[in-house]
Chains A and B, each alone.
Chain A
Amino acid sequence: MKHGPSPFNVVSVALGLAFLYLPIVILVIYSFNASRLVTVWGGWSLVWYRELLNDEAILSAAWISFRVAFLSATAATVLGTLAAVSLTRMGRFRGRLLFSGMVYAPLVMPEVITGLSLLLLFVALNVDRGFWTVVIAHTTLTTCFVTVIVQSRLIGFDRSLEEAAMDLGCPPFRTFMMITLPLVAPAIAAGWMLAFALSLDDLVIASFTTGPGATTLPIRIYSEVRLGVKPEINAICTIVIAVVALGTVISSLMIKRGASQRERAALGAQV
């Protein structure tokens, strides 16, 4: 926009960001508080992180969550990329409307409904609930987010490169591997990251679909939080925030690099 931002614009953005970040910053600071009480500042300390290292239940829940997130994000990335390609590069096919409906609906579907329905499916199929049912549930939930991210990238870029390769006799599969995939790779990476973060975060769907021996980190945190605020929880939350923030920054840098490479490629084509 041509006219610069007015003072009102600056203030509203600043207040908005403060509202978004202040609670998180406070939580991170209190995770280093030596005192058990929230209102009392007992000086900087790592005592709650040490406490965390002795908490078997939290550590094993974190390890389960990490494996669930890794597996489901990977599966969701494959499925989501295929779905995005189907919706953008395959033209019309039978049942397309139903397909796109199924792809977008989980994005807004209340989690209690998705969780309950998946659980009832597992019961109907007589599957033992546990680690793998949570993986399947999270894959189903996060596929849709991957699809939307990859799809918007597939629409965004110039199709003439693909068309040129096909005109020169390159078969579709090879065109996809050599041209399309490298161009959408940053979006696929971002999709994987988001799927990983969402899986690491999910409480409701995991609570419905989990079984004995597969208590994920959010389920564990939730049961502790219901009993009140504990400084150890501040510490584990800070670690999760750090991991997710790092992942987000890395993936956004990757997307940015991908974008500038594409711009260079486009410039080269013009010259």
Chain B
Amino acid sequence: MQGDRETRDWGRRVVILVPYLWLAIFFLAPFVIVLKISLSQSVLAQPPYTPVLDLAAGWQGLKTFAAQLSLDSFGLLASDSLYLLSYLKSLQVAAISTVLLFALGYPIAYGMARAPKAWQPMLVMAVVLPFWTSFLIRIYAWINILQRDGLLNDVLMRLHIIDTPAAWLSSDTAVYIGMVYSYLPFMVLPLYASLEKMDESLLEAASDLGCPAWKAFWLITFPLSLPGVGAGALLSFIPIVGEFVIPDLLGGSESQMIGQTLWIEFFSNRDWPVASAIAIALLGLLLVPILFYERLQQRSLEGGRT
């Protein structure tokens, strides 16, 4: 029995340690490096930042390394309004998109939850399927529709709603369309999951006691769906703040979202320390919503066992 227990403990350790180490090395450790480089300075070299930590130099090397760290990149973020404006722009786009998603997603999720039970798996599948289809392709599909000689202008002109082709692309409208389109499944599915679980007898009781349907919805259905509302809002809001592809392909050039600013600092300006500082600041901005989301996940997937 002794040997049995030992193999059991050993196996248990391997099962936990393999994914643990993978995530620690490839997900957690990189953030430490980003933090370190955000405190470095940009140079024209490979790698394009200084100081580079030289572990061979021992304790002395570590001390000179620490002395050379600077807050210059963060100072730049604070002093140049370009960065502040793109953070604000990102928050604005994410907030408005989340509200739009909620307004559009709630009726859809509610309708799905009221559909005949036999249809519901099909409907869930229908909402999930576009999410499996390439993100990039779905944004590209909208370029086909929104471009100047695209389908939308064609239809609107044939219906004589507009006389000259309107510029739909490269505008905030196009960005909002892209965001709502791409993130709709993230909003609808959590809402549906919370609405579908609801106990119908509560509504029956309310109507038996003379409560009108709209009031019953407001007093019973909506409060009970709040966990779904929270999950849907977080699942959309957090990634939208850092979104790159949608504003890049559909948006205009006059104002950038923070994901684009980071991309340009990194790929065009090759300023790795500033790009890292943007990432750290963005992470700081999203820390509270991410922690909320983690609590929600842990509660829904691990139940009361943690």
Give the interface of A toward B (CB within 8 A).
1-6, 8-13, 15-17, 19-21, 23-24, 26-27, 30, 37-39, 79-80, 82-83, 85-88, 90, 93, 95-97, 99-114, 116-118, 120-121, 123-124, 136-137, 139-140, 143, 147-148, 151-152, 155, 171-173, 193-194, 197, 200-201, 203-204, 207-208, 218, 221-222, 225-226, 229, 233-234, 237, 240-241, 244-245, 247-248, 252, 256
CA distance A2 to B205 in the complex (A): 13
Which chain B residues lie closer than 8 Å to A20 at the CB level? 126-127, 130, 181, 184-185
Which chain B residues lie closer than 8 Å to A155 at the CB level? 301-303
Shortest distance from the beta carbon of B244 to any chain A beta carbon, whole Å: 5
CA distance A86 to B181 in the complex (A): 35
Tell me whether A13 and B108 are in contact (CB under 8 A).
yes
Tell me whether B242 and A111 are in contact (CB under 8 A).
yes
- 18 further A-B pairs in the complex, CB-CB below 8 A; given A99-B19, A110-B238, A248-B132: A1-B114, A21-B130, A27-B144, A39-B149, A86-B15, A99-B23, A100-B297, A103-B19, A105-B294, A109-B242, A112-B259, A143-B22, A201-B136, A203-B245, A221-B137, A233-B140, A237-B137, A256-B121
Tell me whether B241 and A19 are in contact (CB under 8 A).
no
Which chain B residues lie closer than 8 Å to A245 at the CB level? 129, 132-133
Tell me whether B150 and A27 are in contact (CB under 8 A).
no
Tell me whether A108 and B137 are in contact (CB under 8 A).
no
Tell me whether B184 and A79 are in contact (CB under 8 A).
no
Shortest distance from the beta carbon of B246 to any chain A beta carbon, whole Å: 11
Which chain A residues lie closer than 8 Å to B245 at the CB level? 203-204, 222
Query: For chain A, what secondary structure do more than half of its interface residues adopt (helix, strand, loop), or is it mixed?
Result: helix
Is residue B2 contacting chain A, with contact meaning CB distance below 8 A? no
CA distance A82 to B18 in the complex (A): 8
Q: Which of B4-12, B58-66, B67-75, B77-85 contacts A (4 or more CB under 8 A)?
A: B4-12
Query: For chain B, what secondary structure do more than half of its interface residues adopt (helix, strand, loop), or is it mixed?
Result: helix
Assess A120 versus B33: contact at CB under 8 Å? Given A16-B104, A100-B302, A155-B301: yes
- Chain B 179-205, CB within 8 Å of chain A: the 1/0 string? 001001100100000000000100010
Assess A113 versus B133: contact at CB under 8 Å? Given A140-B26, A204-B245: no
Among candidates A39, A87, A105, residue contacting B27 with C-beta atoms closer than 8 Å:
A105
Tell me whether B144 and A102 are in contact (CB under 8 A).
no
Which chain A residues lie closer than 8 Å to B133 at the CB level? 24, 197, 240-241, 244-245
Tell me whether A82 and B33 are in contact (CB under 8 A).
no
Shortest distance from the beta carbon of A132 to any chain B beta carbon, whole Å: 12
- Chain B 278-299, CB within 8 Å of chain A: the 1/0 string? 0100110010001001100110
Assess A194 versus B11: contact at CB under 8 Å? Given A6-B114, A143-B19: no
CA distance A246 to B26 in the complex (A): 32
Tell me whether B108 and A12 are in contact (CB under 8 A).
yes
Give residues 82-120 of B contacting A (CB, 8 Å).
104-105, 107-108, 110-116
CA distance A270 to B30 in the complex (A): 52
Which chain A residues lie closer than 8 Å to B150 at the CB level? 38-39
CA distance A39 to B154 in the complex (A): 7
Assess A13 versus B115: contact at CB under 8 Å? Given A110-B259, A143-B22, A229-B144: yes
Residue of B nearest to A88 (CB): B302
Tell me whether A113 and B8 are in contact (CB under 8 A).
no
Assess A197 versus B132: contact at CB under 8 Å? Given A6-B114, A9-B114, A23-B142: yes
Tell me whether B136 and A218 are in contact (CB under 8 A).
yes
Is residue B24 contacting chain A, with contact meaning CB distance below 8 A? yes
Which chain A residues lie closer than 8 Å to B290 at the CB level? 105, 108-109
Assess A24 versus B130: contact at CB under 8 Å? Given A110-B238, A110-B242, A140-B27: yes
Tell me whether A113 and B282 are in contact (CB under 8 A).
yes
Interface core residue of A27, A139, A208 (most chain B CB under 10 Å): A27
Shortest distance from the beta carbon of A223 to any chain B beta carbon, whole Å: 11
Is residue B39 contacting chain A, with contact meaning CB distance below 8 A? no
Tell me whether A113 and B181 are in contact (CB under 8 A).
no
Tell me whether A4 and B134 are in contact (CB under 8 A).
no
Which chain A residues lie closer than 8 Å to B26 at the CB level? 118, 121, 136-137, 139-140
Shortest distance from the beta carbon of A230 to any chain B beta carbon, whole Å: 10
Tell me whether B134 and A116 are in contact (CB under 8 A).
no
Which chain A residues lie closer than 8 Å to B142 at the CB level? 23
CA distance A207 to B262 in the complex (A): 13
Which chain B residues lie closer than 8 Å to A218 at the CB level? 134, 136
Tell me whether B138 and A23 are in contact (CB under 8 A).
yes
Which chain B residues lie closer than 8 Å to A197 at the CB level? 132-134
Some 27 contacts from A to B, beta carbons below 8 A apart, are: A11-B111, A16-B184, A27-B141, A39-B149, A80-B19, A86-B16, A100-B298, A100-B302, A102-B28, A105-B294, A108-B235, A108-B293, A114-B27, A116-B276, A117-B30, A117-B33, A123-B47, A124-B33, A137-B26, A197-B134, A203-B136, A222-B245, A225-B136, A234-B144, A237-B141, A240-B133, A245-B129
Shortest distance from the beta carbon of A163 to any chain B beta carbon, whole Å: 16
Shortest distance from the beta carbon of A58 to any chain B beta carbon, whole Å: 14
